[in-house]
Structures are given as structure tokens and as C-alpha cells.
């Protein structure tokens, strides 16, 4: 199984796990398996079945947008990374009801 590295901002939705092993022949299958195991992650990664535009998925150092996107085939030895969009530590102060 390939591994997916979960960035800090999304670990709240994986029970704190930072590296998760997932089955799947393609990036898309792996991500679907990931969000099925951690349903709270789904809305952060997908808009219906489309990957959200601000979500960057890399296989090793390569962006899947420049491979075959979600159809990119993966091997068990591959490391997938979700690259978060982060702005800084001084986040603005509003709460997010229903999003904890």
C-alpha cells in the first residue's frame, strides 16, 4: 500500500495521524479510500468527486496535475503528499461551528 502524508492542518480530521497507508491502484482510488476511512477529510479534499482546486497532491516531488491527475497510477512504494496552503500562525479569529 502507498502512504499518504497528512499535513498538520488536516490532522484534526485523521485522529492526529500524519502518515496513512492506503490501498489503491491510482491516486484517485487512494484518496477515496483515505476519505472513506476518515470521512471528515472528504469536504477538505473533494467538491463532489472533483479534487478541490487548492488541494495539491504530489507523488514524491511531482505534482499530479503534471502527471495524469487522479488517474495517475501508483505503486506500493510511492509516497503521496497533500501540500497544504498555509498563510501563517496569526490566523484570524473566527470560530468554525460544525467544523471541529
Partner 1 sequence: MEMMTSLHSRIADLNNEEVKRYSRHVIMPEVGIEGQRRLKASNVLLIGTGGLGSPLALYLAAAGIGRIGLVDYDVVDFSNLQRQVIHGVSTVGASKLDSAADRMLDLNPDIDVVKYNEPLTSENAERIFSEDWDIVIDGTDNFPTRYLVNDACVKLGIPNVYGSIFRFEGQLSVFYAESGPCYRCMFPEPPPPGLVPSCAEGGVLGILPGTIGTMQATEAIKLLLGIGEPMIGRMMLYDALEMSFQTIKVRKDPDCPVCGIDKADVVLIDYEQFCGMPAHDHSEFSSADESEELDIKTVTVHDVKSALENGDDVVVIDVRDPHEWDISVIDGTVKIPKPDIQLAKNGIQGGRRLWEETVLKEIPKDKTLYVHCRSGVRSADSIAYLSEVGYDLDKMFNVEGGILAWADEIDPEMPKY
Q: What residues pair up with 68 in beta bridges, in sequence order? A: none
Cβ 86 to partner 1 shortest distance, Å:
4
Cβ 64 to partner 1 shortest distance, Å:
11
Calculate the CA 97 to chain-centre distance.
22
The β-bridge relationship of strands 46-47 and 50-51 is antiparallel
Whole-angstrom Cα distance, residue 83 to residue 63?
A: 10
Length of the chain: 100
Nearer to partner 1, 32 or 45 (CB): 45
Cβ 77 to partner 1 shortest distance, Å:
16
Residues that bind partner 1 (CB under 8 A): 7-9, 12, 18, 43-44, 47, 52-54, 56, 58, 61-63, 66, 81, 83-99
Amino acid at each position: 500500500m502507498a502512504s499518504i502524508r497528512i499535513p498538520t492542518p488536516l490532522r484534526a480530521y485523521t485522529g492526529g495521524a500524519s502518515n496513512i497507508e492506503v490501498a489503491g491502484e491510482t491516486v484517485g482510488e487512494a484518496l477515496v479510500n483515505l476519505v472513506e476511512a476518515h470521512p471528515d477529510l472528504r469536504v477538505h479534499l473533494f467538491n463532489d468527486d472533483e479534487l478541490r482546486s487548492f488541494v495539491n497532491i504530489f507523488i514524491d516531488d511531482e505534482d499530479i496535475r503534471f502527471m495524469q491527475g487522479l488517474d495517475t497510477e501508483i505503486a506500493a512504494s510511492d509516497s503521496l503528499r497533500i501540500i497544504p496552503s498555509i498563510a501563517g500562525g496569526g490566523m484570524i479569529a473566527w470560530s468554525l461551528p460544525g467544523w471541529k
